Structure 1
Amino acid sequence: MPARETAAATVEAPALSPRRRQLLDAALHVIADHGLRGLTHRAVDRRAGLPEGSCSAYLRTRQALQGALTEYVASALLADVDRLADRILACDVDDDGEGVRAALDLFLHWLDQRELLVARLELTMAATRDADLCAILADHRARLIGLVEGIMAATGKEHSSERAEALVASYDGVLLAALLKPAAERADFLSRSLQLLSNGLAGAPGA
């Protein structure tokens, strides 16, 4: 069977020094465990196991810390979706079920490693009151919508930017609902929900 055509351009995560990555990974866990109020330079230093003042040496203000973490979280999620696209596009054109299976694997991974999802929720709420954070998330969301539309086009689905945006929003809702469910119920809920979205908003294969 022929392989699917290539979709959107590859997502490149921002280059980070090892120490900056260590600090942002620590910040990710701090905000996931303690919320935005708990995100302080001192808390990040403690989580990273570094001397006090290490985080502020790289990110001097709370605003700088929040902005860098927002970029870090959004880029990580976008890179995951880019790898999902590679997996889907490497499949035979007749294997439409692989898209659902690939998305299910990714969503379950995100739910098992919940820090990214919880941090994104915290930062999204903060972005409703912070124009700088809102701009970062809006830029990444636009890139995500473009990537999803590219997948839909390359796999022969009915597609448009509006349809891709609605699909991304629907996936967000499914992920949030799954996050609130008992762990034992998540896989079945996600499988059914993703199949419904694939049959609906994702559109039927083109002629």
Structure 2
Amino acid sequence: MTDQNPPAFNPHAFSEQERAAVYRAIAERRDMRHFSGGTVAPELLARLLNAAHQAPSVGLMQPWRFIHITSLELRRQIRALVEAERLRTAEALGERSSEFMRLKVEGIEDSAELLVACLMDGREAHIFGRRTLPQMDLASLSCAIQNLWLAARAEGLGMGWVSLFDPQALAALLGLPEGAEPLAVLCLGPVSEFYPRPMLVEEGWAQERPLADMLFENHWGEPS
């Protein structure tokens, strides 16, 4: 029996194979903590950063700034900041402290490349789209990080977003100007394998919730 109502042709759609690749990158992206060393070719790193730079941004403010960490001493200092915050987080978690301390939370000294993603200074001058929602600068940077993440997965590289650090301490370490803020320490590089599910699910720390729990219709709390 043939379909009586085939979908209308959309001239703007990618091919079926291209669409499948996009959805595969989204589905298989993982927040990686385990890296296998190796290297990332300079031209590949440039391609990934250009993908990040093509992200949408509110008012075209492009608030992202990326610091490429090439100093081994800086890597060690950044890892020390993360370790200090890991201990403070464990203390704040109370009864889950021991469970948390067993988790691997970063790959700073193991990954081939290390980047710090920051919000630029002078963001208050950008009002378009931010007058009532100033946090849209953070949303724009997050889009750039997601672009980088998906492009890395398509290239077969792992990436991990580390947010366990004191932002003021990291800003001072990296010489950020007043008003600029570090948002993410990004570990990037080859991995021996990708986690089949998010690592925190694999480790029993948390469980994913279905989309149905988060989708409402017309008003908050009304099931779609």
Larger radius of gyration: 2
Query: TM exceeds 0.5?
Result: no
TM-score of the superposed pair, with normalisation by structure 2: 0.27
Structure with the higher fraction of residues in helix conformation: 1
TM-score of the superposed pair, with normalisation by structure 1: 0.29
